[in-house]
């Protein structure tokens, strides 16, 4: 048991220590969704409408930035020595994903500080629910980042993926327009977009309008997506690799 928990715990801790030592990263991740949110929100005179979307974007940026390091890390970095250690791959995957998810969670929580700007008040009881919700969303997005990054040979490919997959996913998730207002086929896309359920879950937790699908459905879909991604990450990392650069 020790040989499973210890590697996972040490990787989780490593993510946090690294993050703490690069404080500019916190600003970088929170700042751009914040600016985005303020511009769109003040521009359309409805900050609350875009709040959940901006929060998810913050968490998504954080998750993506911290999983992107896997690509370089595997060829030149800490991941190399993990790959030749006897620690189970699944334990490494869990440590990495939990670590990155915690970072996304911290930044999401920081973003909550701006909620009053949108006239959103959060009671202490709600804060607990929100903290759990943000962690779940962060965990899911980190899992997604991991699955995408593990197969990648270079970070440039990841940027393309960011623009072609992740950003569009975010746009049709209810972050910018509610499902009710969407055109027919976009609505269909929104139904199958897992991120839709994250946004809806946050809207429920923040008692904001436009919270469709329902709270329970959103919770189940988000959690199921997260667990599926975790399992996929574990399986991918455990597979024996015959790939080599030289």
Minimum distance, C-beta of residue 107 to another protein, in the bound complex (Å): 18
The CB-of-19 to another protein minimum distance in angstroms stands at 9
Cα atoms in the Cβ-side hemisphere of radius 13 Å centred on 219? 9
Q: How far is the CB of 94 from another protein (least distance, A)?
A: 13
Rounded to a whole number of angstroms, the minimum distance from the CB of residue 75 to another protein is 7
Site for another protein in 227-246 (CB under 8 A): 240-244, 246
Span from 17-25, 36-44, 48-56, 176-184 in contact with another protein (CB under 8 A): 17-25
**25 lies in the site for another protein, by CB under 8 A:** no
Site string for another protein, 45-84 (x = CB under 8 A): ------------------------------xxxx-xxxxx
DSSP codes of every residue in the chain:
-HHHHHHHHHHHHHHHHHHHH-THHHHHHHHHHHHHHHHHHHHTT-TGGGHHHHHHHHHHHHHHHHHHHHHHHHHSSHHHHHHTSSS-HHHHHHHHHHHHHHHHHHHHHHHHTTGGGGT----HHHHHHHHHHHHHHHHHHHHHHHHHHHT-S-HHHHHHHIIIIIHHHHIIIIISS-GGGS-HHHHHHHHH-HHHHHHHHHHHHTT-S---S-HHHHHHHHHHHHHHHHHHHHHHHHSPP-----
Q: How far is the CB of 25 from another protein (least distance, A)?
A: 11
Interface residue with another protein, options 23, 43, 86, 185 (CB under 8 A): 86
Kindly tell me which of 24 and 45 has the beta carbon lying closer to another protein: 24
Residue 192 interacting with another protein (CB under 8 A):
no
Residues that contact another protein, how many (by CB under 8 A):
30
CB of 97 to another protein, least distance (A): 17
Alpha carbon of 227 to those of 96, 140, 143, 220, 224: distances in Å?
Answer: 15, 8, 8, 10, 5
From the list 7-15, 38-46, 161-169, 170-178, the region that binds another protein by CB under 8 A is 7-15
Give the residues lining the site for another protein (CB under 8 A): 2-3, 6-7, 9-11, 14, 17-18, 21-22, 75-78, 80-87, 240-244, 246
């Amino acid at each position: 048991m020790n040989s499973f928990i210890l590697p996972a715990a040490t990787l989780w801790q490593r993510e946090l220590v690294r993050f703490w030592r690069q404080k500019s990263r916190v600003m970088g991740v929170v700042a751009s969704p914040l600016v985005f949110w303020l511009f769109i929100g003040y521009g359309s005179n409805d900050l609350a409408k875009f709040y959940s979307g901006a929060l998810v974007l913050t968490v998504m940026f954080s998750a993506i930035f911290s999983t992107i390091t896997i690509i370089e890390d595997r060829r030149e970095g800490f991941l190399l020595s993990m790959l030749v250690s006897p620690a189970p791959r699944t334990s490494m995957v869990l440590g990495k994903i939990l670590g990155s998810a915690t970072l996304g969670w911290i930044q999401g929580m920081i973003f909550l500080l701006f909620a009053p700007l949108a006239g959103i008040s959060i009671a202490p009881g709600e804060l607990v629910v929100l903290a759990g919700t943000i962690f779940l969303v962060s965990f899911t997005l980190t899992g997604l980042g991991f699955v995408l990054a593990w197969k990648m040979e270079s970070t440039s490919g990841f940027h393309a993926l960011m623009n072609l997959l992740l950003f569009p996913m975010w746009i049709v998730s209810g972050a910018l327009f509610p499902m009710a207002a969407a055109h027919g086929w976009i609505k269909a896309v929104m139904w199958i977009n897992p991120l839709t359920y994250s946004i809806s879950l946050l809207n429920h937790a923040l008692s904001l309008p436009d919270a469709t699908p329902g709270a329970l459905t959103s919770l189940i879909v988000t959690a199921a997506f997260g667990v599926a991604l975790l399992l996929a990450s574990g399986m991918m990392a455990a597979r024996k690799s015959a790939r080599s650069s030289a």
